[in-house]
Amino acid sequence: MMHGKRRVAAKEPTQDEKEEARQQLEQYCALNSRVMDLKAQSVFTADALDATRQLLELNTELHTVWNYRRTIIKKLDAWKDTERRQKMLEQELEFLMKVIRNNIKSYWMWNHRMWALSLLPRATWRKELSLVDKLIGMDARNYHAWDYRRFVIARLKDTEDSDAVDEQEFAFTTAQINRDCANHSAWHNRSKLLPAILTRVDQQRREEVLQTENELIQNAIYTDPEDQNAWLYYDWLLDIQKSDEDRIRLLHNKIAAIRELLELEEDGKRPLVELVSGFAELGRLQPGSVTDAEKEECMEILRTLKGVDSYHAGRYADMSSTLSKRWNVSDLCV
Amino acid sequence: MAESSNTTRSLSLLVDKHVEYIKSLDKRQDELEYWMTEHLRISGIYWGLVALKLLDRDSALDKQQVIDYILSCQNTDGGFGGHCGHDSHLLYTMSAVQVLSMYGALDKIESSRVVDYVISLQDIETGEICGDEWGERDTRFAFIAVAILSFFGALSRLDSDRIVEYVVRSMNYDGGFGSGPGGESHAAQVYTCLACLAILGRLDVVDRERLSAWLAERQLPSGGFNGRPQKLEDVCYSWWVLSSLRILGRVHWVDCSRVCNFVLDAQEPDSGGIADRPGNVPDVYHTCFGIAGLSLAGYEDYPLKDVDPVYCMPIECIESSGLRSWINNVPKSWSQEKS
């Protein structure tokens, strides 16, 4: 699969370039055949291990070669001795640091790293976490780095105070969101940490925590009202409330916040959708609480949105149709 | 919303060029790329064959030669490697089964060996499915296991309740699904989870409204889709997002004509094939998912075959395998809005 490789105007390669490409191809094929032959002959030696290293440095995607490499490692004499195994797996981690630069998106490489760490006699999870910090520092949305982070954190929680690790991770997501409130990876991770934190605190502390969440959301929707993350998180906060009473209170806050926001952002598209879905949800939880004027306002908003945001016209039409039936008002989208 | 530059141009699907491009893939042995991608050749054949089938031009490949090659990739454990001599993995076993099914040649393999291989990869403790004997877990593999077993009528061999629980544990605040419990939502993982639930008849566990809204937001001003918020658009998401929306009955929540233009704009005009984005180098993966995306988007200027959004194969193949019944198990409350 090619991702992000630009097409360049065809230019006849020079004789030297052709020769170089031919040699490169021959070397790769020769090495590949050698490794596959060794594997077929069940050779499990240090030489065979080195051959897999050379090949994987050229191509991280060869899962069969990663498998073969693990099999060799476990069959070497050094494996039987704890100290030598520690050293061998540490070298393996260093090798992976080199390969990671070639292709950070290689699933096989990450699997191999998890395998090596799981079998390391004295694993250093804190060191591993600082590696992930570095990777996320370079690319705050890297899917593999975040997945790997959760793996490392789970292990860290086995060896350290689990609640304290959760608190640290929660603070990490706050820092990431403060840096970029559109960081979906950070909002996501936060949503995975918050429920456990809420179960550990008393009612007063619970309200303080939720108030902080509210402030974080408000900050995000003022910074970028069109970004989806904070709004989705807002909806999810409704889901995890203990009672409908709490939900209704939160919905009133949400609607009030949107009204305030709309005074500044008259052309906001998402705040308007959110206003409609806020009223729809409020009406569902507390029948009769949405006034006729508010209902008509919602229908008018959907009609406007259908015109200005043609990409999602179908969604607005569906919302309009559903609400017109539920509220017994005219559907302005037809 | 910014107008995409390509809405003013009229682009057409370069059918002959794509057919020639796919035919040429096996003749590029003087290119390093050919050898570097050897490990997933079996998936390359699947992508090429789906593209050709949807174009109704599958005679471009030598059927017998392909079948013989696929059979040569089966290992003694019953699974398939990406190429002869490569280790088995569910990813390649899926491609092998799909290709054989499209050729009506599933009877060429001993079904019990494939089924036993798949069953051996379920972790009985957690319900999770491993990709191979080394134990990598991912919601993609849950879908693949379920899909493969459905081809052999062997779903009852799997603990499907545990799989549904596992998929539900992988669901997130935005309604989407990640690579496993705790994993961030990603459009391709969303597709695999929805397809898995569709085959098991358990789409009722999905938050349809929230997930549909999240998916609809994946469309960018260029008309193309990204896989996660703030990421670049990519032709393959035309498939992952549209197939998911189709399963949810909500394709009409996005602008299909714009996504068609985006895909057409990513065609390589001279040698054929479709790239991840306009101006980039094409490959067979994006050629497949670009054409499958066009089929779902209702591209009208060429009679593309309809594609099944769960199996990513022509509907006619899925119907003849008796697997289209997933559509009858979609929650009843959804059907009134089916797109």
**Does the distance separating the beta carbons of B280 and A314 come in below 8 Å?**
no
Distance CA B292, CA B47 (A): 10
C-alpha neighbours within 13 Å on the C-beta side of residue A169: 30
Which residues neighbour B53 within 8 Å (Cβ) at sequence distance 6 or greater? B102, B305, B313, B314, B317
Q: Is-contact A190 A177, C-beta < 8 A?
A: yes
At A324 the pLDDT is 97
Neighbours of A197 (CB within 10 A): 17
**Does the distance separating the beta carbons of A2 and B283 come in below 8 Å?**
yes
At B5 the pLDDT is 44
At A142 the pLDDT is 92
Distance CA B49, CA B241 (A): 21
**Does the distance separating the beta carbons of B32 and A25 come in below 8 Å?**
yes
At B339 the pLDDT is 44
Residue type, B303: P
pTM to 2 decimals? 0.95
Task: Note which residues in 178-237 of chain B have CB less than 8 A from chain A.
Answer: 178-179, 182-186, 210, 212-214, 216-217, 219, 228-231, 234
List CB contacts (< 8 A) between B88 and chain A: none
Q: Which residues pair with B274 in a beta bridge?
A: B267, B283
Distance CA A142, CA A132 (A): 10
Reduced DSSP (H G I as helix, E B as strand, rest coil) percent helix, strand, coil of chain B, to 5: 55, 5, 40
User: What one-character-per-residue DSSP string does B58-110 give?
Assistant: GGGS-HHHHHHHHHHTB-TTS-B-SSTTSPP-HHHHHHHHHHHHHTT-GGGS-
**Does the distance separating the beta carbons of B39 and A64 come in below 8 Å?**
yes
What are the domain boundaries of chain B? 18-335
At A7 the pLDDT is 79
- The class of domain A124-240 in CATH terms is mainly alpha
A151 in B contact zone (CB under 8 Å): no
Minimum CA–CA partner of A111 in chain B: B136
Local confidence band at A68 (pLDDT 50, 70, 90 cut-offs): very high
Q: Minimal Cα–Cα distance from B154 to chain A, Å?
A: 28
Which residue of B171, B174, B212, B248 is the best one to mutate when testing the A interface, meaning the one whose CB has the most A CBs within 10 A?
B174
Distance CA A209, CA B149 (A): 46
Lowest mean pLDDT among A301-305, A322-326, B304-308, B330-334: B330-334
Minimum CA–CA partner of A231 in chain B: B174
Local confidence band at A8 (pLDDT 50, 70, 90 cut-offs): confident
Which residue of A302, A315, A319 is the best one to mutate when testing the B interface, meaning the one whose CB has the most B CBs within 10 A?
A315
At A264 the pLDDT is 87
Arithmetic mean of pLDDT, A49-76: 97
List CB contacts (< 8 A) between A109 and chain B: none
Residue position matching structure tokens 């008002």: A329
A191 in helix, strand or coil? helix
What are the domain boundaries of chain A? 31-122, 124-240, 251-334
Pick the closest to residue B184 from A154, A190, A300 (CA basis): A190
pLDDT above 70 (res A2): no
What ipTM, to 2 d.p.? 0.94
List CB contacts (< 8 A) between A25 and chain B: 30-32, 35
Distance CA B210, CA A123 (A): 41
List CB contacts (< 8 A) between A62 and chain B: 39
**Does the distance separating the beta carbons of A309 and B1 come in below 8 Å?**
yes
Minimum CA–CA partner of A148 in chain B: B183
At B152 the pLDDT is 97
Minimum CA–CA partner of B176 in chain A: A188
| CA B76 to mean position of chain CA atoms | 27
Q: What is the mean pLDDT of chain A?
A: 94
Pick the closest to residue B294 from B327, B246, B319, B261 (CA basis): B261
B286 in A contact zone (CB under 8 Å): yes
Distance CA B284, CA B290 (A): 10
A64 in B contact zone (CB under 8 Å): yes
Q: Which residues pair with B236 in a beta bridge?
A: none
User: What one-character-per-residue DSSP string does B279-301 give?
Assistant: TBPPBHHHHHHHHHHHHHTT--S
**Does the distance separating the beta carbons of A147 and B179 come in below 8 Å?**
yes
At A5 the pLDDT is 80
Size of interface A-B (CB pairs under 8 A): 145
Please work out, in degrees rounded to the nearest 5, the angle formed at the alpha carbon of residue A9 by the alpha carbons of A5 and A12. 115
Weakly modelled stretches of chain B, pLDDT under 70: 1-10, 336-339
Enter the CATH code of domain B18-335. Answer: 1.50.10.20
At A89 the pLDDT is 96
Q: Is-contact B121 B127, C-beta < 8 A?
A: no
Residue type, B306: D
Task: Note which residues in 6-45 of chain A have CB less than 8 A from chain B.
Answer: 6-7, 21, 24-25, 28-29, 32, 36, 39-40
Pick the closest to residue B75 from B66, B62, B88 (CA basis): B88
Residue-wise pLDDT for A140-183, tens only, equals: 999 999 999 999 999 999 999 999 999 999 999 999 999 999 99
